[in-house]
Each structure stands twice: as structure tokens, then as C-alpha cells.
């Protein structure tokens, strides 16, 4: 009988038993489930709060010189006239006029009152309107007054100025608002400048020069 190679016999034996001899790769474990992150909550979009008062200047600029000259202005549409510092820039729109120079100014316009306003009427009507219309409004006082043009009230308040068109800076203004009635017609004059500026004499000159026709 011919002799069988032992290695051939081993191969034949393994084939008969159905074993391929090739190692089977282990099954891949299923990936762990992932949890989707919750989407961040949308911004509430809450409106900004009311404008805060800007601080007053320690050394406020804008004093109106005591020796400045005054010139007369007449508003035909509003039927009033008064004097203002010479050289101030003018902006007229119908019955309203504004004169400004640096941080100081005066604005005159026609009001709707036909009877003399009082401290009570100013408190009930004018102050709420100013509070809603002026930036960071702060009431300083209300007094009943009589000037050469007629009688009425003087409301002193503070507000933030409009931002400077170049620098964006704001100043804290103090405003003297006169509501004067004569002959059933009202003229409102607002004199304004930075808090702490010494403009008493100039303001007195302007309001005493007011005439209502």
C-alpha cells in the first residue's frame, strides 16, 4: 500500500468535518443610540427699558456771554415776536422757530390753550405729555408766572439732549418752559442749555421781550 503524506491526510480530515479553517470575524456590536440635543430657547426679545439720564457735566460748557447782543425776531404765522442772541442758527417751520448755538437754544411755538394755564392744569396735562415725549424726563418745578406778554406757567425740567450728529454724545439739558396766554392765544417758549450753565440773564431778556399779537 502506498504511504500517505500526513499533512494531506490532515487536510482531507478537516474538509470532511466541514471546517473551513478560516476564522470568523466577530459580529459588530450595534451603535449606542444617540440623544438629540434640545434646541436652545429662542430669545425673548424683551424691549429695552426707558432711557436713563446721562450725567450732568462737572464743568458745563455753554454759558451764554453776558455781553452778547440781542436781535428781534417776528413770526408772522404765529403772531408773536421776541429777541434772541445775535448769530444763533435759525430754523423756522410755520409757527415754530428754533434758535441754537452750540449747546444752548430757544424754541417758540403756538399752543392750543385759550385760557391762562395754572399749576394744577400743568401738573395734570402738560407734565404727563412731557414725561412721555422727552428722553429721561425729570420734573424740577412748576410755578405760575406773569411776564410782560401775559400770564401762565413756568415748568422747569431736565432731559437728555439729542445725540450729537458727529460724536453721538448726549448732554443733560435743563429746560425752562413758559406757557403764556394773552388775548385767548397761547405761545410756548422753551429756553434750554446744559445743566449747570449760567444763562439766567439771557433767559430773562428773551422771555421779557416776548410779545403776542
Instruction: Express each pLDDT in 71-124 by its tens digit.
Output: 999 999 999 999 999 999 999 999 999 999 999 999 999 999 999 999 999 999
At 78 the pLDDT is 98
Confidence band (pLDDT; 50, 70, 90) for 63? confident
Q: Please give the model's pTM, rounded to 2 decimal places.
A: 0.76
Sheet holding 185-194, edge to edge: 89-93, 96-101, 104-110, 185-194, 172-182, 150-160, 138-147
Closest CA to 91 of 103, 79, 109: 109
Closest CA to 76 of 89, 94, 91: 94
Range of weakest confidence among 23-32, 91-100, 136-145: 23-32
pLDDT score of 35 more than 90: no
Q: Return the beta strands (E) in 60-137 as ranges.
A: 70-75, 80-85, 89-93, 96-101, 104-110
Fold of 70-212: Protein Transport Mog1p; Chain A (3.40.1000)
Confidence band (pLDDT; 50, 70, 90) for 174? very high
Q: Domain limits of the chain? A: 70-212
Phi and psi angles of residue 116, each rounded to the nearest 5 degrees, phi first? -60, 125
**CA-to-CA distance for 60 and 12, rounded, in angstroms?**
111
Confidence band (pLDDT; 50, 70, 90) for 56? confident
At 6 the pLDDT is 52
pLDDT score of 31 more than 60: no
Average pLDDT, the chain: 84
Range of weakest confidence among 60-74, 126-140, 171-185: 60-74
Reduce the secondary structure of 165-183 to three states and give it as a string.
CCCCCCCEEEEEEEEEEEC
181: exposed, middle or buried (C-beta count within 10 Å: 0-12, 13-18, 19+)? buried
Instruction: Express each pLDDT in 175-207 by its tens digit.
Output: 999 999 999 999 999 999 999 999 999 999 999
Do the beta carbons of residue 135 and residue 159 sit within 8 Å?
yes
At 26 the pLDDT is 43
Confidence band (pLDDT; 50, 70, 90) for 61? low
The number of residues in the chain equals 213
Do the beta carbons of residue 173 and residue 159 sit within 8 Å?
yes
Mean pLDDT across 45-74:
81
Grid coordinates representing 46?
424683551
The region that residue 94 occupies, defined by phi over 0 for left and psi between -120 and 50 for alpha, beta otherwise, is left
**CA-to-CA distance for 197 and 213, rounded, in angstroms?**
32
Mean pLDDT across 139-158:
98
Confidence band (pLDDT; 50, 70, 90) for 141? very high
pLDDT score of 25 more than 80: no
Amino acid at each position: 500500500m502506498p504511504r500517505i503524506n500526513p499533512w494531506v491526510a490532515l487536510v482531507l480530515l478537516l474538509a470532511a468535518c466541514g471546517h473551513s479553517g478560516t476564522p470568523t470575524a466577530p459580529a459588530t456590536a450595534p451603535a449606542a443610540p444617540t440623544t438629540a440635543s434640545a434646541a436652545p430657547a429662542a430669545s425673548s426679545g424683551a424691549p429695552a427699558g426707558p432711557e436713563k439720564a446721562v450725567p450732568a457735566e462737572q464743568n458745563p460748557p455753554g454759558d451764554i456771554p453776558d455781553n452778547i447782543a440781542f436781535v428781534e425776531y417776528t413770526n408772522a404765522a404765529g403772531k408773536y415776536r421776541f429777541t434772541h442772541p445775535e448769530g444763533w442758527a435759525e430754523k423756522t417751520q410755520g409757527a415754530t422757530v428754533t434758535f441754537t448755538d452750540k449747546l444752548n437754544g430757544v424754541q417758540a411755538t403756538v399752543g392750543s390753550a385759550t385760557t391762562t394755564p395754572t399749576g394744577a392744569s400743568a401738573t395734570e396735562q402738560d407734565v404727563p405729555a412731557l414725561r412721555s415725549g422727552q428722553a429721561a424726563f425729570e420734573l424740577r418745578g412748576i410755578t405760575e408766572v406773569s411776564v410782560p406778554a401775559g400770564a401762565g406757567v413756568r415748568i422747569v425740567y431736565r432731559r437728555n439732549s439729542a445725540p450729537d450728529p458727529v460724536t453721538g454724545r448726549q448732554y443733560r439739558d435743563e429746560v425752562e418752559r413758559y406757557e403764556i396766554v394773552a388775548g385767548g392765544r397761547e405761545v410756548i417758549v422753551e429756553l434750554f442749555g446744559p445743566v449747570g450753565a449760567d444763562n439766567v440773564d439771557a433767559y430773562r431778556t428773551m422771555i421779557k421781550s416776548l410779545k403776542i399779537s
